[in-house]
Amino acid sequence: MSSINLHFDVPGDDFTRAGEASGSVKKTLKDLGFGHDVVRKAVIALYEAEINLVIHAGGGQIDIEISPECISMVLTDHGPGIPDVALAMQEGYSTAPDNIRSLGFGAGMGLPNIKKYTDEMKIDTKVGEGTTMYLKVFNT
């Protein structure tokens, strides 16, 4: 199998469409024959990152590269950026407003879950300019 590339535009503040990209990637990975645990890791991390685009960044783009060895995911936004990444990585820390919390989000588990379910995670962020997140899940 050569590499497969997927691109998704994620609209901001539309919770009825949130998760469409993750659901689509899950189907693709299953169709390609990736193992259950690898698929689960990749899509949980991707969903958390996708939700962050919707809640915090006013939307963004997702680019996926799937090879037999690795699922690479790059999420780009032009939102407010993350002022303190170390703080944002702490379990339970959240800046989600009350209307978002009422939907069941804002547990402060988004970034910790992404770290937990990926093999590599890198965040480039600049306040006022946006954030790019690089994620990898290896096909072990």
Give the interface with another protein as residue ranges (CB under 8 A).
15-16, 18-19, 22-23, 26, 36, 40, 43-44, 47-48, 51, 103-110, 112-113, 116-117
Q: Which residue's CB is nearer to another protein, number 78 or number 113?
A: 113
Collect all residues with Cβ–Cβ distance below 8 Å to 72 and sequence separation of at least 6.
Answer: 64, 65, 66, 134, 135, 136
- Report, in Å, the least distance between residue 11 CB and another protein: 14
Q: Which residue's CB is nearer to another protein, number 11 or number 78?
A: 11
Q: Which residue's CB is nearer to another protein, number 22 or number 125?
A: 22
In the block, residue with structure tokens 């969903």: 47
- Report, in Å, the least distance between residue 76 CB and another protein: 21
- Report, in Å, the least distance between residue 112 CB and another protein: 7
- Report, in Å, the least distance between residue 2 CB and another protein: 27
In the block, residue with structure tokens 């090879």: 67
Collect all residues with Cβ–Cβ distance below 8 Å to 31 and sequence separation of at least 6.
Answer: none
Q: From the CB of residue 29, how many other CB atoms can be counted at a distance below 10 Å? A: 23
Q: Which residue's CB is nearer to another protein, number 55 or number 123?
A: 55
Q: Which two tokens stand for residue 61?
A: 């783009």
In terms of DSSP bridges, do strands 120-126 and 4-11 run parallel, antiparallel, or are they unpaired?
A: unpaired
